[in-house]
């Protein structure tokens, strides 16, 4: 007699095998999904399109010569006593700093300081910071200002940039500047450094900001001073240095060359680094001329090194230019603007072998003559070689967003004789088309006047490959060029966004019609599609129609 089988019982193993394989496949899918989610969280990168808007933390660590530690370790700051030990035990301590590109953690280069100034008022500065943070080991953001109303500190920290800097591990020493409005204000500095109470209040505020934001130090940028003696500034820097060092913070200062306001021998005692600003050889108030000629930089270094040891001197290099017209007043321009103007005016930039700067002339639409001088990556390359040959602490670029993008091909490269032997200078001969945007003019109405095109540049290196002796722009590179216009003082424009709405837009149109007022309607594609009659009415009644895309995604986090 046969035994009764259970309902789901079978003598065949097929069902069990199918069940096991189904579970294995399901588990594998879950594991792959989890890995994908983790990678997405860790690696997520949100590019931001340029805003329509118109000079830090110390390096994270100084290497212990006995240990193979990376510059970007988690330790927030090297104690001052450790730094002093390094300075005592090494002739050139900065040669022991390890710099590692995040994208290539296995490849290590021994490099000195590679810093750059960041400004919040230029969208291109943010884009450059975001795209090139991996080439830097120090950022000096223009975030702290002197407030002339209260002779105090005013903080304007850009949270977007701060997040990028902190997440990347690069150090940020915020700049404290007396640039107020459109110029440097020496009077507010005078009131503070000549008043012990105000000086102490400012130092206390600096410590508070550095502590709250976990910065590693400060960059002091006091220019156009109005002092009868240099003793007041020295006294302030001494007090700042002593109090910040007591709390583990670093102190750096920007120095104008050949300027009696700065007693380099004394200021050297009360700064971890002095940033010598080797630019503005000619500026907006001077006659047209080189921005930063090689001969001028040589004289700057010769003068500064008489009072400052090379391991404490950082060379600030120029990544911008000026456009002078017949009025004699120069307008500062970015590298991208210099090339855009040259292209529109059919001018050809000429490289000067002596100065290593570039220039050209043109006539504008009003038949006014202009002279343009600017620097590019070749200028910067030769400047980095000057810094390396002088055994300086490093270099700092003024500024992010205005530079020739080719500079990033060598900026984190060792520029010593042995280091440069491994670099192919011909990498600088081509400029690929990019999606960067060059905004020109003022106003809320935009006109795309140029599109990206690659550039070709003939590069002539020295016989020993130690420098670049000449370059010729064979084909000018270009980016998106957007003309902004429509700026009008004391005028308002009514704008109604993200419609049309079947309930509200008709009522708005009734009011506008009754009052004879024109307006702008920035519509969503999906709403316009659902309300075609209203769109027609907006058009027929003479209003402006703009697009807010079809679904209005967050363009700041969109990759497309």
Instruction: Identify the CATH number of the domain in which residue 163 sits.
Output: 3.20.20.80
- Kindly state whether residue 246 falls inside one of the protein's structural domains: yes
- Kindly state whether residue 428 falls inside one of the protein's structural domains: no
pLDDT of residue 103: 27
pLDDT of residue 10: 58
Residues 199, 200, 206, 209, CA torsion sign: negative
Question: What distances in angstroms separate CA 378 from CA 66, 146, 203, 371, one per listed residue?
Answer: 37, 36, 40, 20
pLDDT of residue 24: 84
Radius of gyration of the chain (CA): 29
Contact 175, 115 (CB under 8 A): no
- Kindly state whether residue 300 falls inside one of the protein's structural domains: no
- Kindly state whether residue 345 falls inside one of the protein's structural domains: no
Closest-CA residue to 80 (of 207, 211, 246): 246
Distance between CA atoms of 259 and 273, rounded to whole angstroms? 18
Write out the two tokens for 72.
């970007």
Other C-beta atoms lying within 10 Å of the C-beta of residue 266:
17
Distance between CA atoms of 438 and 449, rounded to whole angstroms? 10
- Kindly state whether residue 296 falls inside one of the protein's structural domains: no
Bridge-based pairing of strands 495-499 and 520-523 is parallel
Mark which of 258, 277, 296 sits at the end of a domain. 277
Give Cβ neighbours of residue 186 (< 8 Å, ≥ 6 apart).
178, 222, 223, 224, 225, 226, 227
- Domain span at residue 501? 495-557
Per-residue tens of pLDDT for the chain, all 560 residues: 445 555 555 566 667 777 777 888 888 888 888 887 666 555 444 444 444 444 333 333 332 333 332 333 333 334 444 433 433 333 333 333 333 333 233 223 335 999 999 999 998 999 999 999 999 999 999 999 999 999 999 999 999 999 999 999 999 999 999 999 999 999 999 999 999 999 999 999 999 999 999 999 999 999 999 999 999 999 999 999 999 999 999 999 999 999 999 999 999 999 999 999 999 999 999 999 999 999 999 999 999 999 999 999 999 999 999 999 988 789 999 999 999 999 999 999 999 999 999 999 999 999 999 999 999 999 999 999 999 999 999 999 999 999 999 999 999 999 999 999 999 999 999 998 888 787 777 787 888 878 899 999 999 999 998 999 999 999 999 988 888 888 887 888 899 999 999 999 999 999 999 999 999 999 999 999 999 999 999 999 999 999 999 998 887 666 65
What 3-state DSSP class applies to 543? coil
Distance between CA atoms of 421 and 407, rounded to whole angstroms? 17
As a residue count, the chain comes to 560
Distance between CA atoms of 371 and 560, rounded to whole angstroms? 38
Bridge-based pairing of strands 358-363 and 369-374 is antiparallel
Distance between CA atoms of 251 and 146, rounded to whole angstroms? 17
Contact 338, 299 (CB under 8 A): no
Write out the two tokens for 210.
């550095």
Three-state SS letters, 86-148: HHHHCCCHHHHCEEECHHHCCCEEECCEEEEEECCCCHHHHHHHHHHHHHCCEEEEEEEEEEC
Write phi, then psi, for 187 (nearest 5 degrees): -70, -40
- Work out how many domains the chain is built from and give that number: 2
pLDDT of residue 469: 98
Predicted structure pTM score: 0.75
Contact 287, 326 (CB under 8 A): no
- Kindly state whether residue 214 falls inside one of the protein's structural domains: yes
Contact 153, 146 (CB under 8 A): yes
Mark which of 277, 307, 336 sits at the end of a domain. 277
Distance between CA atoms of 78 and 243, rounded to whole angstroms? 17
Residue for token pair 């591990």? 169
**163: Cα within 13 Å, side-chain hemisphere:** 6
Distance between CA atoms of 245 and 62, rounded to whole angstroms? 16
Distance between CA atoms of 471 and 358, rounded to whole angstroms? 10
**201: Cα within 13 Å, side-chain hemisphere:** 15
Distance between CA atoms of 447 and 275, rounded to whole angstroms? 40
Contact 337, 254 (CB under 8 A): no
pLDDT of residue 527: 96
Distance between CA atoms of 251 and 550, rounded to whole angstroms? 50
Mark which of 226, 261, 277 sits at the end of a domain. 277
């Amino acid at each position: 007699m046969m035994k009764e089988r259970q309902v789901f019982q079978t003598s065949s193993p097929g069902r069990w095998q199918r069940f096991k394989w189904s579970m294995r496949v399901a588990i594998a899918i879950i594991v792959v999904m989890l890995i994908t989610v983790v990678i997405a969280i860790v690696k997520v990168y949100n590019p931001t399109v340029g805003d329509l808007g118109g000079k830090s933390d110390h390096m994270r660590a100084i290497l212990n010569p006995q240990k193979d530690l990376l510059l970007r370790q988690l330790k927030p700051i090297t104690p001052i006593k450790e730094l002093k030990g390094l300075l005592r035990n090494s002739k050139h301590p900065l040669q022991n700093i390890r710099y590692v590109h995040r994208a290539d953690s296995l490849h290590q280069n021994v490099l000195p300081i590679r810093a750059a100034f960041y400004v919040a008022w230029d969208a291109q500065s943010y884009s450059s910071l975001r795209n090139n943070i991996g080439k830097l080991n120090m950022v000096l953001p223009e975030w702290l200002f002197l407030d002339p109303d209260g002779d105090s500190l005013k903080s304007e920290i850009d949270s977007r940039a701060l997040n990028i800097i902190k997440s990347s591990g690069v150090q940020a020493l915020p700049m404290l500047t007396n640039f107020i409005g459109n110029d440097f204000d020496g009077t507010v500095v005078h009131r503070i450094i000549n008043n012990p109470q105000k000086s102490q209040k400012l130092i206390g505020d600096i410590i508070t900001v550095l502590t709250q934001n976990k910065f590693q130090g400060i960059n002091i940028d006091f220019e156009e001073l109005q002092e009868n003696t240099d003793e007041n500034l020295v006294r302030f820097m001494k007090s700042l240095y002593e109090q910040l060092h007591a709390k583990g913070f670093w102190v750096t200062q920007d120095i104008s060359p050949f300027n009696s306001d700065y007693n380099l021998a004394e200021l050297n005692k009360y700064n971890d680094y002095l940033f010598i600003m080797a630019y503005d050889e000619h500026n907006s108030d001077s006659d047209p001329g080189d921005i930063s000629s090689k001969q001028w930089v040589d004289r700057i270094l010769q003068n500064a090194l008489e009072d400052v040891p090379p391991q404490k001197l950082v060379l600030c290099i120029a990544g911008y230019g000026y456009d002078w017209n017949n009025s004699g007043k120069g307008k500062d321009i970015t590298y991208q603007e210099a090339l855009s103007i040259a292209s529109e005016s059919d001018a050809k930039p000429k490289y000067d072998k002596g100065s290593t700067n570039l220039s050209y002339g043109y006539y504008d639409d009003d038949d006014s003559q202009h002279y343009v001088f600017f620097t590019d990556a070749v200028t910067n390359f030769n400047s980095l070689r000057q810094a390396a040959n002088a055994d300086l602490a490093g270099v700092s670029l003024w500024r992010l967003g205005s530079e020739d993008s080719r500079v990033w091909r060598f900026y984190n490269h060792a520029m010593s004789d042995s280091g440069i032997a491994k670099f192919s200078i011909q990498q600088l001969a081509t400029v690929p088309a990019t999606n960067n945007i060059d905004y020109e003019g003022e106003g809320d109405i935009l006109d795309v006047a140029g599109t990206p095109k690659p550039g070709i540049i003939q590069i002539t290196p020295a016989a020993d490959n130690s420098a670049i002796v000449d370059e010729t722009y064979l084909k000018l590179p270009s980016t998106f060029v957007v003309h902004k216009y429509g700026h009008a003082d004391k005028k308002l424009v009514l704008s109604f966004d993200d419609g049309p709405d079947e309930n509200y837009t008709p009522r708005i149109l009734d009011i506008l019609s009754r009052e004879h007022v024109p307006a702008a309607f920035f519509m969503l594609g999906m709403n316009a599609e659902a309300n075609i009659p209203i769109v027609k009415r907006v058009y027929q009644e003479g209003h402006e129609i703009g697009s807010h895309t079809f679904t209005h995604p967050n363009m700041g986090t969109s990759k497309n």
